[in-house]
């Protein structure tokens, strides 16, 4: 199960309703993983409000180094330290090595746990474990910025009926089949799809801050959830290197996304969210506007 919690959904200036950007992604299986996408001011308190333990964060992913996307990182690291964190923390971001050195010089706590840094600009697969992978892609913004994709691995589930039809019984040979995708039994090639059903892994993409960019649609291809910034209405969009609700919807459509969530909403739409939603819906129907502490569960 995957649970996504929007901790902050404002654009660069926070409001009483919307804190600076941060999104928690919890992955529940035999193991538990907690990922944090961006870490704006007030993220530690928003995590407390959401009932998510910041001590359990495994990976923090920063899209770019504007203060609204990272200012909560410094006090969060301090609090983890004060609470006696021992576990390694992975931080992924563009220019991360330089930035983490600056952060360490800026403030006075010796960080007592290991921080592993992964530079997000290289655009390869950035991280992988048994359950999921993380990718990044450069996006168009005023400063080096990336979007992230969380990609759960596909799983095969043995289909008893298919086995029966082929006159096969469960056994150790299945491990081999899972490993290699095909296997020879009695001189007959058996493919995994012959005896199992695939459970497609979930794919979640977060744009960070960016202007309209079709490369992002390619990156987000067939995703279950596209979380895209929508700072403005199309009519208010100027030279800001941000997206409108319309832009976000076009990307969702091009990507064939299942569901679009708009975030990074300018305070000017404080009483006017419906216009943003309508603008997006004119192109892509399955769209919602995130608000702080809004949650999505994927099973």
Determine whether 68 is an active site residue.
Answer: yes
Strand partners, 289: 262
* 12 sits near its own copies (criterion: CB under 8 A): yes
Neighbour tally for 266: CB within 10 Å: 21
* 241 sits near its own copies (criterion: CB under 8 A): no
The CB-based long-range contact list for 45-48 (8 Å cut-off, 24+ gap) reads 46/7, 46/8, 46/19, 46/22, 46/292, 46/293, 47/7
Of the residues 31, 38, 68, 209, only one is catalytic, namely: 68
Q: How far is the CB of 111 from its own copies (least distance, A)?
A: 11
Query: How far from chain centre, in Å, is Cα 277?
Result: 22
Q: How far is the CB of 133 from its own copies (least distance, A)?
A: 28
Of 20 and 250, the one with the shorter C-beta distance to its own copies is 20
* 42 sits near its own copies (criterion: CB under 8 A): yes
Q: How far is the CB of 20 from its own copies (least distance, A)?
A: 7
* 166 sits near its own copies (criterion: CB under 8 A): no
C-alpha distance from residue 210 to each of 15, 22, 154, 251 (Å): 21, 16, 29, 12
Sign of CA dihedral 222, 295, 198, 171: positive
Spatial separation of the C-alpha atoms in residues 132 and 243, rounded to whole Å: 28
Spatial separation of the C-alpha atoms in residues 226 and 204, rounded to whole Å: 6
* 45 sits near its own copies (criterion: CB under 8 A): yes
Answer for the pair 19, 267: CB distance below 8 angstroms, yes or no.
no
DSSP letter, residue 15: -
* 120 sits near its own copies (criterion: CB under 8 A): no
Of 78 and 159, the one with the shorter C-beta distance to its own copies is 78
Q: Binding string to its own copies for residues 51 to 80, with x set by CB under 8 A, is what?
A: -------------xxxxx-xxx-xx-xxx-
Strand order in the sheet with 89-93: 115-119, 89-93, 59-61, 32-37, 22-28, 2-8, 295-298
Neighbour tally for 148: CB within 10 Å: 27
Q: Binding string to its own copies for residues 75 to 104, with x set by CB under 8 A, is what?
A: x-xxx--xx---------------x--xx-
**Of positions 121, 143, 185, 198, contacts its own copies by CB under 8 A:** 143
How many residues bind its own copies (CB under 8 A)? The answer is 38
* 243 sits near its own copies (criterion: CB under 8 A): no
* 40 sits near its own copies (criterion: CB under 8 A): yes
For the chain, give me the number of helices (H) and strands (E)? 10, 18
* 14 sits near its own copies (criterion: CB under 8 A): yes
* 16 sits near its own copies (criterion: CB under 8 A): yes
Task: Count how many Cα atoms sit within 13 Å of the Cα of residue 58 in the half-sphere of its side chain.
Answer: 12
* 41 sits near its own copies (criterion: CB under 8 A): yes
Of 71 and 293, the one with the shorter C-beta distance to its own copies is 71
Q: Which residue has the tokens 């600009």?
A: 121
Interacting positions 248-287 with its own copies (CB under 8 A): none
* Residues of the shown chain interacting with its own copies in the complex, contacts defined by CB under 8 A: 12-14, 16, 19-20, 40-42, 44-45, 48-49, 64-68, 70-72, 74-75, 77-79, 82-83, 99, 102-103, 105-109, 142-143
- Residues annotated as part of the active site: 68
């Amino acid at each position: 199960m995957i649970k996504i919690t929007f901790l902050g959904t404002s654009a660069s200036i926070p409001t009483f309703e919307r804190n600076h950007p941060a999104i928690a992604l919890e992955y529940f299986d035999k193991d538990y993983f907690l990922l944090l996408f961006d870490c704006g001011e007030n993220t530690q308190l928003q995590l407390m409000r959401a009932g998510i333990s910041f001590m359990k964060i495994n990976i923090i992913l920063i899209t770019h180094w504007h203060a609204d996307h990272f200012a909560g990182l410094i006090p969060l690291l301090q609090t983890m330290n004060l609470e006696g964190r021992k576990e390694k923390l992975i931080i992924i971001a563009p220019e991360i090595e330089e930035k983490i050195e600056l952060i360490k010089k800026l403030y006075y706590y010796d960080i007592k746990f290991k921080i592993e840094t992964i530079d997000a600009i290289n655009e390869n697969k950035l991280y992988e474990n048994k359950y999921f992978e993380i990718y990044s892609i450069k996006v168009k913004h005023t400063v080096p910025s990336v979007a992230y994709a969380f990609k759960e691995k596909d799983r095969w589930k043995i289909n008893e009926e298919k086995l029966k039809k082929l006159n096969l019984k469960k056994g150790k040979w299945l491990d081999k089949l899972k490993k290699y995708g095909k296997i020879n039994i009695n001189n007959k090639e058996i493919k995994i799809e012959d005896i199992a059903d695939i459970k497609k892994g979930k794919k979640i993409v977060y744009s960070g801050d960016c202007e309209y960019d079709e490369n992002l649609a390619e990156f987000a291809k067939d995703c279950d959830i596209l979380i895209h910034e929508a700072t403005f209405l199309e009519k208010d969009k100027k030279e800001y290197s941000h997206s409108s609700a319309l832009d976000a919807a076009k990307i969702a459509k091009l990507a064939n996304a299942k569901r679009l969530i708009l975030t990074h909403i300018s305070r000017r739409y404080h009483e006017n969210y419906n216009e943003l939603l309508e603008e997006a819906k004119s192109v892509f129907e399955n769209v919602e506007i995130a608000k702080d502490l809004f949650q999505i569960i994927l099973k």
